[in-house]
Structure 1
């Protein structure tokens, strides 16, 4: 199966009509999978590194009953977005790209939900552009409040230096600790590792002062079995630096079993936290 076939196969499992959008700016073309009522409150979903936007299949369809959902393929990662223009090299470049995406969608203010690297993009964007963010949900965020564990870095390093399907699937199987990860999710991630893409922008963790001053009270999902970082330390840091945050522990989750394997808990947490309707645009 090709990468494009695997992408379409997972996208077909959204179980709602999906509109595939192409937005062009100075960075290239950004691919967005949209669903839900056109006049619903807007929500942007950002995937983790190497995951691509179809991985939200178990979350997007259920949010689409209330919200207009936009799942974005990152311009600096595998997927259907193509970086044919200016290359994003800094967090500021990524924020400019994301602002362009929102402008292209005709959205002034939006709720963000990001996983892993996508959570880091969402958080740093909320810090840089607070007026454009209505709500913020971080799904097992990396390099936001805490750094990655050394054993995880060492295990992931070969797949970062010389990406391959085998290396990608190996680290996902290791980190998910025998949990029943969806075979199509695993296959798409493995094939994505071998797709040409622009190198991802290196993360820079926000300062404590920036986290204390965060305007959006985030909803933070913590994977208690994560091998990527210390879950207890993450929760403590969130509660200490952003006391307005809501922390939701996912006792059985690992970093890479999210978001699909624990979609019930993620969706329930989002709907509870966002019970008061988000403003429509």
Structure 2
């Protein structure tokens, strides 16, 4: 099943649809034509994270914007699914196989950047290039807003009764330029997690992913990433401080790192022109200079 969104980006309409794998029923968007680019979002799913970027990238690429397990409208069907970083990375590989993509560029934001890194470590032959926006993937504590979800009972209640005010707070914290905050996406996000259809299972998936993901192994294996990496961070990131960038630049074999002044955690929405000015040539280049 699929439908075309109201927006008509220059790369063509955005089609939302589902595809089934042994692990999950994946919800994703597809737009454009050309070499594939997979978008892996931070918490909340692609609509909360990447909705505005799809049209720009679809001018030159076939864009796949994915809800990973535990996010958005993706439903984990394998009840033995182990929920950790490796399981999610492998399930992303299953998604790519299901849509017929052998090798792809990947753009990952926040936790999506961590999953992108682990996928590139496990399947280096499948990643053409890797663009990371304030990524997870290193062994540091979650921000306090997410640490609550790891607590027994408290986390369950916090997710079950998540309010629009709480979501808006978390979204605003991602931005330096408050006029760029896409508040209209909050209602869509809340409708998704509150929908009666498989609601209990979706909330359970969200909590189990949050409680299972650990990044120690991902950080230890950063040297296994073979693809060229574009790393972007905002100076005013209040979720993952910009000082963490050195943990990546000292370990990744091939990395072009950029710190954007006055950028928040959702850098691609907070400073879209500056982010795309770096991202577009990186994704379309024939080669990227080595570190």
Superposition TM-score, scaled by structure 2 size: 0.79
Higher relative contact order (CA 8 A, sep 6+): 1
> Match of 1:229, SS?
coil
1:268 matched to 2:264? The reply is: no
Q: Distance in 1 between matches of 2:173 and 2:24?
A: 35
User: In structure 2, how many angstroms separate the alpha carbons of the residues matched to 1:22 and 1:32?
Assistant: 6
User: Across the two proteins, how many residue pairs are aligned to each other?
Assistant: 261
Of the three residues 48, 51, 55, the one matched with 2:49 is 55
Q: Identify the match of residue 106 of structure 2 among 95, 102, 112.
A: 112
**2:234 aligns with one of 223, 226, 248:** 223
Q: Deviations over 1:204-231 (max 9, x none)?
A: 2346552123211211111211111220
Deviation at 1:22, TM superposition (A): 1.8
C-alpha contact (below 8 Å) 1:14/1:57 kept by paired residues: no
Structure 1 position 23 matched with structure 2 position 11: no
- Is 2:264 the partner of 1:254? yes
Q: Structure 1 pair 83/209, CA: closer, same or farther in 2 (3 Å)?
A: closer
**Is 2:123 the partner of 1:129?**
yes
State the shift of 1:92 in Å. Answer: 2.4
Displacement of 1:193 in angstroms is: 5.5
Aligned 8 A contact 1:140 1:223 in 2: yes
Distance 1:192 1:158, change over 3 A: farther
Matches within 5 A, 1:122-201: 122-142=116-136, 144-145=137-138, 147-148=140-141, 152-153=143-144, 155-158=145-148, 161=155, 162-163=158-159, 164-165=162-163, 166-176=165-175, 179-180=178-179, 181-192=181-192, 194=194, 196=199, 197=202, 198-199=205-206, 200=209, 201=212
C-alpha distance after superposition, 1:43-81 (max 9, x if no partner): 00011112434632221111111111000111222x222
- Check the 8 A contact 1:46/1:122 in 2, yes or no: yes
Written as runs of structure 1 = structure 2, the 5 A alignment for 1:196-215 is 196=199, 197=202, 198-199=205-206, 200=209, 201-206=212-217, 209-215=220-226
CA contact (8 A) 2:46 2:67 kept: yes
- Give RMSD over aligned pairs: 2.6
Unaligned runs of 5+ in 1: 1-7
Report the CA distance between 1:245 and its aligned residue: 0.4
